[in-house]
């Protein structure tokens, strides 16, 4: 027996090619969706509390709905019947939501319900916790749908299938009409097709849309996406390949030295030359370097960088360059990490690890970004494990910058769990490693986090000096993320002094700085918004409720479960009596004991907790 369950759009189950009648009642669908999407199998009691809090016989209601679900799925063995409930579908079964989360983009873009709402048209009366969970999953799967459309379009473009790229990018623009990256991708797809008229029309239409709807001029990336590369002419190899390798090396060196534009120009030339030479291995390496430079060293170029990385993978696969493919997959995962598309990021990281062939240098980088991904989503135990492994491998292979990066991320996780002593030790170590490498472009990050540790410890003098210095460094290197960390901290200092109105204004400025560049870390935007909500709720600011809603939306859509919980705690503090239960449900799987303490009655206001001892100074 084969079972296919479609939960995106109006739900339906197909067994052996036959569509089966919907279950009696709607909560069987809710059970199926929850069991299919939960990271951990729930207990029967959790399901009772979740779905049947007001039933006359809650346990009986659960038994009846489990029976309906088993009938729908084809037999008593399809759903476990112990104290823990889990799906046990026969081998070869199909769940569209699992394909969306774990399948390839080739598979996901073919899903019939892609872009439609989870359990569309099914309204379920249950606990506030279930309502919060369903809303969050609908947001998360909608965002994931956009991510696979983007990924599919980039893959198609890299493989030379411009028609498919145009189709998928068109669907992406329809789903996210005000996403500038989506418009740039569609224009790039038209350029890949060689249709000059379509490129010009779409560029004009996109510019008009942003002017009309947002009252802004789009960035230069749209015009750059319209650039149509001339077909590469074949050249003789010979000494030309040596010259191309030298050009590639000089481009990498220039980017590393801070001469970013000159380096990127050299890398573009190396890509064009290697393509013309027909050497796919050299083309893969050049595209990897160009893609990495666009992602890490330039501002607002992540979409173009991702396109280059997809092309690098295509060339690497054609030439058997597994190491290049591993690095390109990791870099694409990092792009998804910045965007908050954590499920797709995880897929890229798993592929990168498979291709890395136990190379300790590559593995140290993979474990680092994987640890950051875990931490963003609140899986801190997994984050600590991954980051410590990255630090160990980086130290063994003399990668001091990588060790500094991973150590700073480890310090961030300790800070988020309010583990101040290990946070301070890790961040001081990261600062020392950064100084040893004279890595000025990174130094603001661990310094701002260490300043926050000092705020919570009550040392406002050192914290003030560190936040001001971190902000100055961020401005010096023109990094919106680092600036935002510093300004957020300065806002917290104002809150600690009792100037809540000033704190709201300053943290609002930090949020504006986050939005200045399109490819800033989405988690950071939510982190700044979290601080803004903490101050605004305490100050009873008239815009507090809207900011809390924005935090819930951005964290729910991306799967930042820790920050989703905090959004519901702010709703509790604004008077929503059902928000505590919702926060408790959403906290399942969040590996942060300190956060769980905040959910219980009698805990401190979230702003006081954020300020620590400084709240009482």
Do 564 and 552 contact (CB within 8 A), yes or no?
yes
Task: Name the 3-class secondary structure at 118.
Answer: strand
Q: Which CATH class is domain 144-225?
A: mainly alpha
Burial of 379 (0-12, 13-18, 19+ CB in 10 A): buried
| pLDDT score of 439 | 95
Average confidence (pLDDT) over 427-439: 97
Q: How many residues does the chain have?
A: 617
Structure tokens at 168: 């998928």
Buried b (16+ CB within 10 A) or exposed e, 21-60: ebbeebbbbbbbbbbbbbeeebebebbbbbbbeeeeebee
Nearest residue to 331 via CA among 368, 292, 358: 292
d(Cα 363, Cα 427) in Å, to the nearest integer? 22
CA distance linking residue 240 with residue 273, whole number of Å: 9
Residue 430 pLDDT exceeds 90 = yes
- Tell whether the model's pLDDT for residue 376 goes beyond 90: yes
Question: Torsion angle, CA of 56/57/60/65, rounded to 10 degrees?
Answer: 30
Token look-up 């073919």 returns 110
Residues 6+ apart with CB under 8 A from 128: 578, 579, 581, 582
- Residue 81's pLDDT band (boundaries 50, 70, 90)? confident
Residues 93 and 2: beta-carbon distance below 8 Å: yes
| CATH code for the part of the protein at 239-333 | 1.25.40.10
Do 239-333 and 439-616 come out as alike in CATH topology?
yes
H or E element in which residue 150 lies: helix 128-158
Of 513, 549, 516, 545, nearest in space to 528 by CA:
513
Per residue, the 3-state secondary structure of 573-603, as one string, reads HCCCCCHHHHHHHHCCCCCCHHHHHHHCCCC
How many Cβ atoms from other residues are within 10 Å of residue 231's Cβ?
8
Are 336 and 147 within 8 A, CB to CB? yes
The whole-number pLDDT of residue 499 equals 97
Q: Cα 194 to chain center, whole Å?
A: 33
**pLDDT at site 269:** 93
Please give, one letter per residue, the 3-state secondary structure of 28-86. Answer: HHHHHHHHHHCCCCCEHHHHHHHHCCCCCCHHHHHHHHHHHHHHHHCCHHHECCCCECC
Specify the pLDDT at position 238: 47
Q: In the predicted model, is pLDDT for residue 233 greater than 60?
A: no
* pLDDT for res 616: 60
Pick from 73-82, 224-233, 258-267, 502-511 the range whose average pLDDT is largest: 502-511
The answer on pLDDT for 190 being more than 80 is yes
Question: What pLDDT does residue 239 have?
Answer: 53
Q: Spell out the domain ranges in the chain.
A: 3-126, 144-225, 239-333, 439-616
CATH architecture of 439-616: Alpha Horseshoe (1.25)
Tokens standing for residue 586: 């959403």
> Are 341 and 376 within 8 A, CB to CB?
no
Mean pLDDT of all residues in the chain?
A: 93
pLDDT score, position 157:
93
List the structure tokens of 383.
Answer: 């984050």
- Looking at residue 234, its pLDDT comes to 47
Residue 282 has pLDDT above 50, yes or no: yes
As a whole number of Å, the end-to-end CA separation of the chain is: 67
515 falls in which pLDDT band (50, 70, 90)?
confident
Please, what CATH class does the domain formed by 3-126 belong to?
Answer: mainly alpha
| pLDDT above 70 (res 230) | no
Q: Residue 612 carries which DSSP code? A: G
């Amino acid at each position: 027996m084969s079972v296919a369950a479609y939960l995106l759009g109006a739900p339906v189950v197909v067994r052996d090619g036959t569509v089966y009648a919907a279950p009696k009642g709607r909560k069987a669908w809710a059970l199926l969706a929850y069991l299919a999407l939960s990271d951990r199998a729930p207990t029967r009691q959790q399901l009772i509390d979740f779905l049947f809090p007001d039933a006359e016989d809650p346990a009986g209601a659960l038994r009846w709905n489990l029976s309906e679900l088993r009938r729908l799925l084809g037999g008593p063995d399809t759903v476990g019947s112990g104290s823990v409930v889990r799906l046990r579908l026969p081998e070869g079964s199909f769940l569209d939501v699992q394909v969306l989360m774990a399948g390839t983009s080739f598979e996901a873009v073919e899903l019939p319900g892609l872009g439609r709402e989870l359990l569309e048209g099914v309204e379920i009366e249950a606990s506030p916790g279930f309502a919060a969970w369903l809303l969050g999953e609908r947001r998360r799967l909608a965002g994931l749908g956009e991510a696979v459309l983007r990924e599919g379009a980039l893959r198609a473009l890299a493989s030379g299938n411009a028609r498919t790229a145009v189709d998928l990018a068109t669907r992406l623009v329809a789903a996210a009409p005000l996403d500038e990256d989506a418009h740039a991708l569609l224009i790039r797809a038209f350029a890949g097709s060689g249709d000059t008229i379509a490129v010009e029309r779409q560029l004009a239409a996109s510019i008009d849309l942003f002017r009309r709807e947002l009252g802004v001029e789009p960035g230069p990336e749209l015009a750059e996406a319209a650039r149509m590369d001339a077909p590469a002419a074949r050249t003789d190899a010979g000494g030309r390949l040596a010259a191309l390798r030298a050009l590639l090396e000089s481009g990498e060196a220039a980017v590393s030295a801070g001469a970013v534009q000159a380096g990127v120009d050299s890398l573009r030339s190396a890509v064009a030359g290697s393509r013309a030479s027909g050497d796919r291995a050299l083309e893969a390496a050049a595209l990897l370097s160009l893609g990495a430079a666009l992602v890490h060293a330039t501002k607002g170029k992540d979409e173009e960088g991702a396109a280059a990385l997809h092309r690098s993978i295509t060339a690497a696969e054609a030439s058997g360059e597994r190491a290049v493919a591993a690095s390109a997959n990791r870099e694409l995962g990092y792009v998804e990490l910045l965007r908050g598309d954590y499920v797709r990021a995880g897929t890229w990281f798993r592929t990168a690890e498979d291709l890395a062939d136990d190379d300790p240098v590559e593995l140290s980088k993979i474990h680092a970004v994987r640890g950051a991904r875990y931490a963003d989503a609140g899986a801190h135990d997994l984050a600590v494990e991954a980051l410590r492994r990255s630090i160990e491998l980086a130290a063994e292979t003399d990668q001091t910058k990588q060790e500094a990066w991973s150590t700073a991320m480890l310090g961030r996780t300790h800070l988020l769990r309010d583990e101040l002593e290990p946070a301070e030790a890790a961040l001081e170590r990261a600062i020392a490693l950064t100084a040893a490498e004279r890595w000025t472009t990174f130094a603001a990050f661990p310094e701002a986090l260490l300043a926050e540790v000092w705020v919570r410890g009550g040392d406002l003098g050192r914290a003030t000096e560190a936040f001001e210095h971190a902000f100055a460094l961020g401005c010096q290197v023109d990094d919106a993320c680092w600036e935002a960390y510093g300004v957020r901290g300065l806002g917290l200092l104002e809150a600690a002094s009792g100037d809540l109105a000033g704190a709201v204004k300053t943290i609002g400025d930090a949020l504006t700085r986050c939005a200045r560049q399109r490819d800033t870390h989405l988690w950071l935007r939510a982190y700044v918004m979290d601080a803004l909500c903490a101050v605004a709720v305490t100050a009873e600011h008239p815009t507090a409720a809207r900011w809390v809603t924005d935090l819930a939306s951005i964290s729910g859509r991306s799967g930042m479960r820790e920050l989703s919980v905090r959004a519901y705690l702010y709703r509790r503090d604004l008077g929503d009596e059902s928000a505590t239960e919702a926060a408790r449900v959403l906290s399942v799987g969040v590996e942060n004991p300190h956060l769980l303490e905040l959910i219980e009655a009698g805990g401190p206001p979230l702003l006081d907790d954020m300020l620590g001892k400084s709240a009482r100074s």
